[in-house]
Chains A and B, each alone.
Chain A
Amino acid sequence: MTDIMRRALKATVILVFLLFPAASVHSQDEATDNTFQDVVLKMTLEEVDSIKTVTVAAHTLENGEEVPVSGETVSVFVPRMFSNLTIGELTLDDAGTASIEFPSDLPGGKEGNLTIVAAFIDNSLFGNVEKRETVHWGIPTDYLPSSHRALWTHKAPTWMIYTLSVLLAGVWGHYLFAIISLIRIKIDAVRKARKDYRV
């Protein structure tokens, strides 16, 4: 390999390394910041007896063994347009699990899908860890404002258009009659003048 090619390869490799930053915002199951402990956060969504339940479980790996995390707070929320709607703040029990009932009357998008997130938020041990899932647990809200006709819409109510047209046609029709009368007077006067002249 020539010197130039070697240099080019080095530059490309480094560029590639810079262009795909390792700082991904959320890792699915692992801690991102190296000063925090790694933790595995699981979330299960199940509907038992038509009651929607969110169960979270967290454990750390120590020497290959799963150690449940207890006493820490996990937030369960639904991300909304401006902020997150908290469903509950769960405290993990000794087994490292907690569950909460999910409301069944929460509106979802057009298809009724909701994104549910369970997360450690600014946790002293683990930092920010989240588990995110989309589920068909919302009420479909297909909001299509009807393109109806009203006083405040672009299109006017049809009765208004008809009434206005009829009134205007009626009135200006009479004006037309008057103008035609004037024309008829003029024609008659011209005709008579010609007749007088000939006589």
Chain B
Amino acid sequence: MMETDKKLIADLTPEIETTSIKWYITFFVLLAVFVVGIYGLIQQIDKGHIVTGMRDNVVWGFYIVNFIFFMGLSYSGALISGVLHLFHTSWRKPIIRMAELITVISLIIGPFFIFFCIGRLDRLHFLFIHPRIQSPITWDVIAILTDLFGCFIYLYLSFIEDFAILRDYPYLNVAPWKKKLYRILSLGFTGTEKQRKILANARTVMAAMIIAIAIIVYSVLAWIFGVTLQPGWHSTIFGPYFVIAAVFSGTGLLIILMWIFRRVYHLEEYITKRHFVNVGVLLTIIAAFYGYFTFSDYLTKWYGSIKMDSILIDRLFTDYYSMFIFANYVGILLPGIIIAFPKFRSIPSITVAAMIALTALWVNRYIIVIPTLETPFLPIQDIRPDWISYSPTWVEWSLTLAGVSVFVMLFMLISKIAPIISISEMQEEDKTEILH
């Protein structure tokens, strides 16, 4: 029998027990966006990829940008759960569940954008029956599957205690199928010394693994670009650069979700300004690293006189000027300024900083992928404007928005089954105090 603080349960379970009208409305709006995206996908499958903005030179567009972006979001779990777990930081406890959920959900959504980009979906299984291990895409397939599996295990490990608590709490007012679910998924966990030890060990091992895997997965993704000869992509720094950018985007999303759930589920007591400031400081530190890598990459390109690099830099500072400034200056400096000065820190301002950071990172992915493809070694000599430069179509926009909506919808659905803040983690703090 799991003992539980009545107050904790009372605060953290209402979302599991009841569903508000607002929830339903939000969910169905998101579902509508999703359906529009599906319609776009059907058009694409029916008429071919010509309905997108991709053409013979810019063969990778929105879909690949979204793929990298969503895979990058999965880093919040690696950092907050993984790194902070190993450092036993206590303030992370209310937010680890959210971080882990971000990881798993974005790892599920990311690969779908790859599927949209593949010309022959009916041959997807060839990746598994005819793989070539010399290809970075094969490395990516293996890495993503490994990462997904690992993050699932890690998430589940952190859910076990909570499921046990929910199973044993007699006043929980939920549907019988949910109770049965908790019973099965909790594996009969009763909180004995031995069981806790096994669980803690497993979690530590998996936390270390998650960090290692996250770095490998994102480096492999970076090498899909880095090993080619294309100007702008053939950069030795791409592996670490992408990893830092991913941590940056994951942390930004975490702050945004903290703000949303705090607001919607009235968790003001558990997610306090202290948490926002701490994660915000993390965001600023990572922003500094990200800015350093970006500057380093572009400085070396700009300083040297290699023709293709110069052509690319020219392009970035003319056609893509506003996007470049937003992604690499505003996206780094603004969040930094807001969080670095205690005067500017407040929960809303930190959330705004995180939103700027997140959008800036999406734009950063865009200006990594597309301008390079628009400046190949042999110049694009064509008269059709859609073949000369890339412009996304409604299909690509609708699928992008569908991806975002699925992300939020999955979060909403999971919040109906498991508490968004880990009850067991919050209790542990009190328990350790009692034991000592």
Contacts and interface: CB of A to CB of B under 8 A. Distances in A.
* Whether chain A touches chain B in the assembled complex (some CB pair under 8 Å): yes
Nearest to B202: A181
Interface string A158-198: 00110010011001101101110110111011101100000
Given A160-B134, A161-B133, A171-B209, A181 B190 contact: no
Nearest to A151: B134
Nearest to A149: B134
Contact of B209 (A151, A174, A193): A174
Interface stretch (B25-33, B142-150, B391-399): B142-150
Given A160-B133, A164-B133, A168-B146, A185 B198 contact: yes
Contact of B192 (A175, A186, A188): A188
A135 interface: no
B200 to A, nearest CB: 10
B203 to A, nearest CB: 8
B205 A189 contact: no
Interface centre among B139, B195, B213 (most CB of A within 10 A): B195
A61 interface: no
A156 interface: yes
B194 interface: yes
- The interface centre, meaning the residue of A151, A174, A179 with most chain B CB atoms within 10 A of its CB, is A174
Interface string B196-239: 00110110011001001100100000000000000000000000
Contacts of A164: 133, 139, 142
Interface in B335-383: none
B135 to A, nearest CB: 9
B146 A178 contact: no
Given A168-B142, A181-B198, A192 B205 contact: no
Nearest to A189: B188
- The SS class assigned to the B binding surface is helix
A193 B198 CA distance: 18
Contacts of B132: 156
Contacts of A192: 188, 190, 192
Contacts, number: 71
A162 to B, nearest CB: 11
A185 B153 contact: no
A156 B134 contact: yes
Contacts of B146: 168, 171-172
Nearest to B152: A175
Contacts of B264: none
Interface string A29-66: 00000000000000000000000000000000000000
Nearest to A171: B146
A49 B192 CA distance: 100
A140 to B, nearest CB: 33
A160 B131 CA distance: 14
B305 to A, nearest CB: 30
**Interface residues of A, dominant DSSP:** helix
Given A151-B134, A156-B132, A174 B195 contact: no
A168 B160 CA distance: 27
Given A164-B133, A167-B216, A175-B150, A185 B205 contact: no
A152 B362 CA distance: 33
A186 B157 contact: no
Contact of A182 (B139, B187, B205): B187
B213 A171 contact: yes
Contacts of B157: 178, 182
B189 interface: yes
Contacts of B209: 171, 174-175
B119 to A, nearest CB: 22
A184 B198 contact: yes
B372 to A, nearest CB: 21
A183 to B, nearest CB: 9
Interface in A51-102: none
Given A178-B205, A185-B160, A185-B188, 17 more contacts: A151-B134, A156-B134, A160-B133, A160-B134, A174-B205, A174-B209, A175-B209, A178-B154, A178-B202, A182-B156, A184-B198, A185-B187, A185-B189, A185-B199, A189-B188, A190-B188, A192-B192
6 contacts: A174-B206, A177-B202, A179-B153, A185-B198, A188-B194, A188-B198
Interface of A: 151-152, 156-157, 160-161, 164, 167-168, 171-172, 174-175, 177-179, 181-182, 184-186, 188-190, 192-193
Interface of B: 132-134, 139, 142, 146, 149-150, 153-154, 156-157, 160, 187-190, 192, 194-195, 198-199, 201-202, 205-206, 209, 212-213, 216
